[in-house]
A and B are shown apart, each in its own frame.
Chain A
Amino acid sequence: MSSEQYQVPTGSGSQAPGGSRNFDAEPPTAMHYLCGDCATRVRLEKGQPIRCGSCGARVLYKERTKRMVQFEAR
């Protein structure tokens, strides 16, 4: 085999899971959710009522994980 083997970058696969997280930083005070009614991204501070800012719906969903998930295409 040749000496100039090229390593294909595999996106976030090569990094440690959640590698960029900094544990010394302030814990995040706000979370983002998705409105169950109008699908807008809702920012919620600690202690805030669970409610969509734009349409007033009370059902909010958690966002999908930002981590890469690997699948076999089979």
Chain B
Amino acid sequence: MKPSKEELERRNIVGVGAERVTNVTSTDYPGHFPGEDHAWDLGYFRDNVTIEFHKNEPLEAEFSLIGVDASIANAFRRMMIADVPTFAIETVHMEKNTSVIQDEVLSHRLGLIPFKGGKTGFRKFMKFYKKPEDGEEHSYVDFNTIQLSLNVECTHNKKAAKNETDVTKLYNHAHVYASDIEFNPVGRQEQYFSGDNAIVPVHPDILIAKMRPGQQINCSLLMHKGVGSDHAKFSPVATASYRLMPTIKIKSPILGEDAKKFQKCFPKGVIELQTVTRKESKEEGPFKGKEGEWKAVVVDPMRDTVSRECLRHDEFKDKVELGRKRDHFIYSVESTGQWRSDEIFLEAVALFKEKAKKFEHQVINMAR
């Protein structure tokens, strides 16, 4: 027996009350409803999953993933944060640092700078660096280590005006920026990381240290490919999160001044005020004889923050039903710049596939 459309919709909505959420667990698995088969099916999955982009900029993407279970959606989110690799400085060889910033702090700051470089080289050529075991030698080679150097010295600027007070004009290199870091390619790195593909900091204006004349920083930096689960500096996202699509159901019409008040309970653009048309006012129903009056209409529930403000007012409490769609995930991915924000998601999907294949292998071995 197939459940009705209304029943399916009811199952798919998490209720949001003033002080509680209802219907929180998903029920679409085998054995939950008698006579209904909810076994996972590739064809059904393929036909029902949709991805819809709302915003796709290099550093920020917002998109909906509709028709998957929370466990899958959450796996993608976690993999975007912790499993998609990027470059970051890992080791600092400090030759000289007479600036006021301590070696450890400077090293830490250098580690957090995001770097970008040729993507073919990053994907195909560069491998992960394996930390040596106790007693083992370091194995720095061109496909696992990138060499950078930072050599800056602060001096007096002879050409500065006599009464100059701006330190950046008074001295040379008073501020050390990420753009002062040089890339020194070795071996086959020339092929993959030259010209537009050179390895450079994503944001050249990151302030690393401040200096005064006579102070100097000389260090060589070793960079590796790494993942966010090892250290947050390797994470390709500033944030990757999702929320469920809000739903607002107006059960009985909200009219006149109430409609205006109702609109103010939501963020801009969620509720629109429309006038009751002549046709509606002539028909039998709640709009009868109300031609020209304002009525509240839900136009863009995605913008809602689900503050539940409307449920605090007695006049709306019983007229509106708030909820969230269980299988509609609105992702927000903010890239740190090494990848385009949409690439991060694709990369996470590819990793998911790879992991699933490895797991399949394990299961087959186990069953043997």
What is the interface of chain A, defined by CB distance below 8 A to chain B? 4-13, 39, 64, 66, 68-74
Pick the contact of A71 from B107, B140, B141, B188 — CB < 8 Å? Answer: B107
B92 with A71: CB separation less than 8 A: yes
Given known A-B contacts A6-B142, A8-B142, A10-B138, A72 and B95 have beta carbons under 8 A apart = no
Give Cα distance in the complex from A7 to B137, angstroms: 12
Q: Interface with A: B28-36, B97-105, B311-319, which one?
A: B97-105
Closest beta carbon of chain B to A22's beta carbon, Å: 21
Chain-A contact segment, one of B67-75, B83-91, B331-339: B83-91
B95 touches A12 (CB 8 A): yes
* CB-CB nearest 10 A-B residue pairs: A73-B111, A6-B187, A71-B107, A8-B140, A6-B142, A71-B92, A73-B89, A69-B94, A73-B107, A5-B141
User: Do B94 and A71 touch (CB < 8 A)?
Assistant: yes
Question: What are the interface flags for B4-45 relative to A under an 8 Å C-beta threshold, 1 for contact and 0 otherwise?
Answer: 000000000000000000000000000000000000000000
Q: How far is the CB of A32 from chain B (nearest CB, A)?
A: 13
Beyond A6-B187, A72-B91, is A64–B107 a contact (Cβ under 8 Å)?
no
Pairwise interchain contact B91-A73, C-beta atoms closer than 8 A: yes
Chain A residues with CB under 8 A of B231: 74
Closest residue of A by beta carbon distance from B223 = A73
Query: Known contacts A6-B186, A64-B97: does B92 contact A70 (CB below 8 Å)?
Result: yes
Q: Which residues of A contact B108 (CB under 8 A)?
A: 73-74
Q: Contact: A8 with B145, CB < 8 Å?
A: yes
Taken together as a complex, chains A and B put the C-alpha atoms of A74 and B142 apart, in Å, by 22
Q: A73 to B148: give the CA distance in the assembly, Å.
A: 13
Distance in Å from the Cβ of B270 to the closest Cβ of chain A?
Answer: 44
A-B contact pairs, 14 of them (CB 8 A): A4-B187, A6-B187, A8-B145, A8-B222, A39-B214, A64-B97, A66-B96, A70-B93, A70-B94, A72-B91, A72-B92, A73-B88, A73-B91, A74-B107
How far, in Å, is A6 (CB) from chain B's closest CB?
3
Q: How many A-B residue pairs have CB under 8 A?
A: 74
User: Which B residues are within 8 Å of any A CB, using their own CB?
Assistant: 88-98, 103-104, 107-108, 110-112, 138, 140-142, 145, 147, 186-188, 214, 220-222, 231, 233
Contacts of A7 in B (CB 8 A): 140-141
Q: In the assembly, what is the distance between CA of A12 and CA of B104, in Å?
A: 19
B147 to chain A, nearest CB (A): 6
Contact A11 B140 (CB under 8 A): no
Nearest CB in chain B to that of A8: its residue: B140
Task: Tell me which of A10, A68, A70 contacts B140 (CB under 8 A).
Answer: A10
Taking a contact as CB atoms under 8 Å apart, the answer to whether A8 and B95 are in contact is: no
CA of A26 to CA of B154 in the docked complex: distance in angstroms?
Answer: 34
Q: In the assembled complex, which residues on chain B have CB atoms less than 8 Å from the CB atom of A4?
A: 187
Q: Which residues of B contact A71 (CB under 8 A)?
A: 91-92, 94, 103-104, 107
With A6-B188, A8-B147 given, is the CB distance from A70 to B141 under 8 Å? Answer: no
B99 to chain A, nearest CB (A): 11
B350 to chain A, nearest CB (A): 24
Complex interface: chain A residues within 8 A of B89 (CB): 73
Residue A68 contacts which of B95, B147, B186 (CB distance < 8 angstroms)?
Answer: B95
Other-chain residue from A6, A39, A64, A70 in contact with B96 (beta carbon distance below 8 A): A64
Contact yes or no, B107 A11, CB < 8 A: no
By the criterion CB–CB under 8 Å, are B91 and A70 in contact?
yes
